[in-house]
Amino acid sequence: MVKKNLNYKETGIDWIGVVPNNWEIAKPKFKLNRVTRAIDEVDEVVTCFRDGTVTLRKNKKKDGFTNSLKEHGYQQIRPGDLVIHEMDSFAGAMGISDSKGKSTPVYTVIEPSDGVELKYIFYLLKHMSKSGKITSLAKGIRERTTDFRWNMWSSMNFPFPPHNDQKLISNYLDKKVNIINKLILNLKKEIDLLKEKKKSLIINYTTKSFENKKDLKDTNLDLIKKIPINWKISKIKFIKSEDKYSLVDGPFGSDLKSEHYDENGEIIVIESGFLYEGNFNNRKREFKKISKNHFKKIKRSECNENDIIIAKIGDCGISAILPKLDNPSVISGNCCKLKISERHNNEFIHYWMLMLKYRGIINNEINQTGQPFISLGTINNLIVFLPPNDEQKEIVTFLNTAIEKIDFLIKKKIKKLNLIKEYKDNLISLGVTGKLKIKKI
């Protein structure tokens, strides 16, 4: 059972507040045993992931890592060690290792010792991370990383409950967090299934007629072998608007730099980060803005309502239709804008672009020299199968309705997921700061 603990004392620690009277306030360097061990020849690489897993890299992920040619400063990790990623700890990269292996020197390694339950310290550091304290302390060295070193946090005051209480708190949180994590995992699977259903609908209904037509013709293309006889085969360059800048990318280099951004500017900058799984989403980040004067210099990259915005760099080829905005707008260097001729349905072409993305067609065309990107020439020459206009409209109407329902379900599940995550964070916070009195059932 869990009850509120009424006997508190002030700690003077801003991210902790009050703790039970019998808890000790001490510096981790006097309580924890940090180690730097020599590695064995047979040791394999151990990785500290953001979800709190510390395991052999091969156990969880094989791709997306850079292997060091020379392992300068590599250290040994053993099962039961508490491992903290100094550059990624702000995002939760810390945990108890389940493996023996080796790691880079950017990991802080703490071995088990008498009088301290490392799982309690793990949960305490998790709370420190979620509270934003690690980010506020650590000096950023590049985007989305920090520099949270042992000599920085080991000299700060931490709460240390009696050892038996540390075990009690850790065991309680383990039990509750495991239950919550299973709920989170199931919700993520449900969300992924809905996203896959959405992709499947787009793929199926942009490439197949609603009617079971017997009159088909060969395309002589690997994309789709046969299509209805009244469908046309074209390319983007033949269906885009006749405007001079119907397909254009954003300004690069000195034409749009950080010093050009002006929070009081009147022109919105559209970036690829707003393109999310086929939707335009600006709820999670604010628009950057530029002045009217600078806009005149890069006006060729102007974009307007109903233009198709395509990610040129990053998640190459993902696209969204630009909605009506309160301000004029311009695309950034990581985007292209495509304006479709009024003779065609721009929503159908948008869904077609998504189909090419989801089927891997666009990925096959991406320039992999240096930073991967999709060129305007590649976009111009993408194949399009065009049903008659009335059928294009019918397909768009169906997809809009079906996808709206799926997006609604996804939003509901994401909201539920965020609430569960918030509950887990609050539970850890209350547990490690003694705001809950935990007794064995």
For Cα atoms 32, 36, 40, give the angle at the middle one, nearest 5 degrees: 135
Q: What gap in Å lies between CA 65 and CA 378, rounded to an integer?
A: 29
Copy the structure tokens of residue 311: 């990610």
CB 352 within 8 A of CB 408: no
Q: What's residue 227's pLDDT? A: 85
Q: What's residue 209's pLDDT? A: 67
Query: Is there a shared CATH topology between the 28-156 domain and the 232-386 domain?
Result: yes
Q: Give mean pLDDT, residues 185-212.
A: 90
Q: Give mean pLDDT, residues 20-40.
A: 95
**Lowest mean pLDDT segment, chosen from 112-116, 250-254, 330-334:** 250-254
Residue 337: HSE in the Cβ half-sphere, 13 Å Cα cutoff: 27
Q: Give the range with max mean pLDDT: 25-34, 201-210, 267-276.
A: 25-34
Confidence tier at 188 by pLDDT (50, 70, 90): very high
Give the residue among 256, 261, 306 at the shortest CA–CA distance from 280: 306
Is 80 exceeded by the pLDDT of residue 50? yes
Q: Give mean pLDDT, residues 215-222.
A: 84
Q: What's residue 239's pLDDT? A: 95
Looking only at the bridges linking them, the beta strands covering 24-26 and 158-160 are antiparallel
Would you say how long the chain is, in residues? 441
pLDDT in tens, 72-117: 789 999 999 999 999 889 889 999 999 999 999 999 999 999 999 9
Looking only at the bridges linking them, the beta strands covering 18-20 and 24-26 are unpaired
CB 256 within 8 A of CB 332: yes
Q: What's residue 257's pLDDT? A: 87
Q: What gap in Å lies between CA 336 and CA 194, rounded to an integer?
A: 28
Q: Give mean pLDDT, residues 340-354.
A: 95
Q: Give mean pLDDT, residues 217-232.
A: 85
The residue extents of the domains of the chain are 28-156, 232-386
Is the backbone of residue 338 left (phi > 0), alpha (psi -120 to 50) or beta? beta
CB 119 within 8 A of CB 174: yes
Q: What's residue 103's pLDDT? A: 94
Q: Give mean pLDDT, residues 164-180.
A: 96
Confidence tier at 366 by pLDDT (50, 70, 90): confident
| CATH architecture type of domain 28-156 | Alpha-Beta Complex (3.90)
DSSP reduced 3-state for 339: coil
Is 50 exceeded by the pLDDT of residue 343? yes
Is 70 exceeded by the pLDDT of residue 8? yes
- What percent of the chain has a predicted confidence (pLDDT) above 70? 92
Is 90 exceeded by the pLDDT of residue 365? no
Q: What's residue 47's pLDDT? A: 93
Q: Give mean pLDDT, residues 348-363.
A: 93
Q: What's residue 146's pLDDT? A: 67
- What percent of the chain has a predicted confidence (pLDDT) above 90? 71
Q: Enter the DSSP assignment of 242.
A: S
Confidence tier at 216 by pLDDT (50, 70, 90): confident
Q: What CATH number labels 232-386?
A: 3.90.220.20
pLDDT in tens, 264-309: 999 999 998 899 888 998 776 788 999 999 999 999 999 999 999 9
Q: What gap in Å lies between CA 227 and CA 224, rounded to an integer?
A: 7
Q: Give mean pLDDT, residues 56-85.
A: 79
Is 70 exceeded by the pLDDT of residue 330? yes
**Lowest mean pLDDT segment, chosen from 57-71, 203-217, 410-424:** 57-71
- Please, what is the average pLDDT of the chain? 89
Q: What's residue 96's pLDDT? A: 96
pLDDT in tens, 122-154: 999 999 999 999 988 866 544 455 689 999 999
DSSP assignments along 213-228, one per residue: ---EEE--SSS-SEEE
